[in-house]
Amino acid sequence: MPTSLSDCKPAARELQRIAQAGGLNPQFHTAVILGSGLGSPGEIAMADGGIAVNYADLPHLPTSNVAGHAGRVVIGSGHLSGVLLFQGRVHSYEGHSLEKVTFVARMLAQLSVQRLIVTNAAGGIAAAFRPGDLMLIDGHWSFANVQLRHGDARGRSCGRLWSPQLIERAKSINTPLTLHCGVYAMMSGPCYETPAEVRMLQTLGVDAVGMSTVPESIVAAERGIDVLGVSCITNVASGLSDAPLDHSEVAHVAGSIDDAFTAWLFELLRLLK
């Protein structure tokens, strides 16, 4: 059965019930989707008193089978009060419908979340990008089918999808990481892009390429949620390096910036209270 908008309500209510039962703030203002290999902030939030909830324990919430996606949401406590950290996402290439891929975005709207920080692992196309850099998304291309049902973004412009205010706030934080701004392209996956596709993307002005992020961001923005997109550059895109591409490289590079990325993200969340 396709997931409908109304199916998000039970999951939203259950998250609030769990937060309240655990003595945590059930009024959520900010959510973070942690992409491939970027789940460490969720682990630290749990160690600091947060409550972890498996996706499978929330009604209708789809689960991922991709390595590096733990499949749980952490309800923040203390300095992360009012924050939800999603460790992983589902992808269209896993066979999930777009209704399922965008389930979390609709659930966040039910929870009156104001901001969404959506992260991913991406291949770097821009010549200045190096593995371990971060790119703040300020524009995108979609090469996957992201035509959404229920009228999501139908006939509307996505030109202001990526919040300029959140980008400026993210750029203001001191960090040893190298931050860029750039254009993200979503390909359909699950295979990495071909060298020919990368040459096409270069011609189109794309700076980084991945297989996610755009559908849930469109749905969130359509519902009035401010969106910040963050790509962790985990590899040089296909054809731009002699090194072979595989998921273990993505996990290794993402893991190598764990501490710096977590510190940067937590400082950003502190500024957004």
Rounded to the nearest 5 percent, the helix, strand and coil shares of the chain are 35, 20, 45
Residue of 114, 92, 125 lying closest to 199 (CA atoms): 125
Q: Annotated binding site for a purine D-ribonucleoside: which residue ranges?
A: 193, 235
Give the integer Cα–Cα distance in Å for 111 and 12.
Answer: 6
1-11 mean pLDDT = 70
130-159 mean pLDDT = 71
* Residues 187-206: tens digit of each pLDDT: 987 888 889 999 999 999 99
Q: At what angle do helices 258-271 and 164-171 cross, to 10 degrees?
A: 120
Q: Please report, for residues 3, 134, 136, 212, 268, the alpha-carbon distance to residue 178 in angstroms, rounded to integers and kept in the order given.
A: 39, 6, 11, 22, 15
Please indicate, yes or no, whether the overall pTM of this predicted structure exceeds 0.85: yes
Kindly state which CATH superfamily the domain 5-271 is placed in.
Nucleoside phosphorylase domain (3.40.50.1580)
pLDDT given for residue 6 in this prediction: 59
Higher pLDDT, 149 or 251: 251
Give the integer Cα–Cα distance in Å for 167 and 127.
Answer: 21
Where would I find the H helices in the chain? Answer: 8-21, 40-47, 98-101, 103-110, 164-171, 195-203, 214-222, 247-256, 258-271
Tokens 């939030």 identify what position? 45
Reported as half-sphere exposure (CB side, CA atoms, 13 A), residue 153 has a value of 20
pLDDT given for residue 263 in this prediction: 96
Where would I find the H helices in 148-246? Answer: 164-171, 195-203, 214-222
3-state secondary structure of 42: helix
86-115 mean pLDDT = 88
pLDDT given for residue 189 in this prediction: 77
Average pLDDT over the chain reads 87
How confident is residue 1, by pLDDT bands cut at 50, 70 and 90? very low
Residue of 193, 65, 178, 189 lying closest to 123 (CA atoms): 193
Q: Annotated binding site: which residue ranges?
A: 36, 69, 89-91, 121, 193, 212, 235
Give the integer Cα–Cα distance in Å for 177 and 168.
Answer: 16
pLDDT given for residue 156 in this prediction: 47
Q: Annotated binding site for phosphate: which residue ranges?
A: 36, 69, 89-91, 121, 212
3-state secondary structure of 171: helix
